[in-house]
Amino acid sequence: MDLLNTLVEKGLRRELPTRDEALAVLATSDDELLDVVAAAGKVRRQWFGRRVKLNYLVNLKSGLCPEDCSYCSQRLGSKAEILKYTWLKPDEAKKAAAAGVAGGAKRVCLVASGRGPTDRDVDRVSQTIEAIKEQHEDVEVCACLGLLSEGQADRLRSAGADAYNHNLNTSEGTYGDITTTHTYADRVDTVQQAQAAGLSACSGLIAGMGETDADLVDVVFSLRELDPDSVPVNFLIPMEGTPLAKEWHLTPQRCLRILAMVRFVCPDVEVRLAGGREVHLRSMQPLALHLVNSIFLGDYLTSEGQSGRTDLDMIADAGFEVEGATTKTLPEHRAPEAGGCGSHEGGCAPCGGEAAPEPSEVLAARTDLVAVRRRGAGTDLAPNA
């Protein structure tokens, strides 16, 4: 396909596709799917070889969030029967992190529910970061604490944090449809605060919330412009007890097209296959490794993932290798000493394009694939890593 040849050439040059080209990837047929994966795989291998970075989530504070994000089981008014607990002590968090590191994780992601941290919360998390770094000097620590206030990013950086995660989740135009207690601009501001403090920015999206192809392209183009180092791609886990519990729009084929589109738009960025991969990609997960260069190991914040051992076997069986602790994830031109990310040749401004078709009809719910987390952080049971 001329489209795929063009996208590969642009990806190898770190050149932004047009909006129409990105939409065309999402519109490809199932007969063309393997060609799409193969093309995006060339771009992935150019910048990341066959390495797969492992990340591990530690939920420091679960549930009882005052925000109303429709997709979230921890939201205000959620009836999801998830684990609910207040802040883990630094030693408890360190123990949970150690399980992920022992399973091969290179980055530990410390997450807490809530609108954003108080200064006391930042102190708590700083103590946890220091405790983890004392035990695992080389591990990357990413904090995800919600909206940041002035100076908090600097304090986290001083405590040893390497990165900060705050996802855009969906397009600016539809953001008000999923959340009313804060704005899209609030999220952008937090990512920019993290970047200004010298933290590696991690910001991505959630697919499967009823958005159109145009919405997906909008948010990915916005992420390209925002320029995070890591772009996690989540697929909605429709948890019972949340407003989006009936949103089952995704197929494995659509998930792969979305990942390919993200890779073409963000060719030299760490694209992470995040929540929902087991639920929606299912047996097609190994194909996704040709598109992404990073995954989460084991469980998520409030739901279970497949076993860490299964993840490692999948990586090996697909012909990939786990990225070592001392290996640089990002290409040399994205290193800070190179003067920036280097991914903006030709600029980042989104190009115009036609509106995409609406999502397909609702599929049969696979509630059997959604299991609430009952182990690991906040429990007496061993974690899944």
pLDDT, tens digit (0-9, with 9 covering 90-100), for 42-90: 999 999 999 999 999 999 999 989 999 999 999 998 989 999 999 999 9
Q: Was 272 annotated as part of a binding site?
A: yes
- In the predicted model, residues of the chain with pLDDT beneath 50 are 338-361
Q: Is residue 33 part of a domain?
A: yes
Q: Is residue 10 part of a domain?
A: no
Q: Is residue 218 part of a domain?
A: yes
* Count of domains forming the chain: 1
The one catalytic residue in 44, 72, 75, 144 is 72
CA 275 – CA 24 distance, rounded (Å): 25
Q: Are 35 and 45 in contact (CB under 8 A)?
A: no
Nearest to 244 by CA among 357, 370, 144: 370
Catalytic residue status for 72: yes
Q: Was 351 annotated as part of a binding site?
A: no
Q: Is residue 371 part of a domain?
A: no
Catalytic residue status for 341: no
pLDDT for residue 336: 66
CATH code of 240's domain: 3.20.20.70
Residues 176-228: tens digit of each pLDDT: 999 999 999 999 999 999 999 999 999 999 999 999 999 999 999 999 999 99
Q: Was 109 annotated as part of a binding site?
A: yes
Catalytic residue status for 202: yes
Catalytic residue status for 107: no
pLDDT for residue 363: 65
Alpha helices in the chain (DSSP H): 2-12, 19-26, 33-48, 90-102, 119-135, 152-159, 175-178, 184-196, 213-226, 252-265, 277-280, 285-288, 308-317
Q: Is residue 106 part of a domain?
A: yes
Q: Was 142 annotated as part of a binding site?
A: yes
pLDDT for residue 337: 53
pLDDT for residue 2: 95
Domain carrying residue 80: 17-325
Q: Is residue 353 part of a domain?
A: no
Q: Is residue 236 part of a domain?
A: yes
Q: Is residue 11 part of a domain?
A: no
pLDDT for residue 357: 36
pLDDT for residue 137: 94
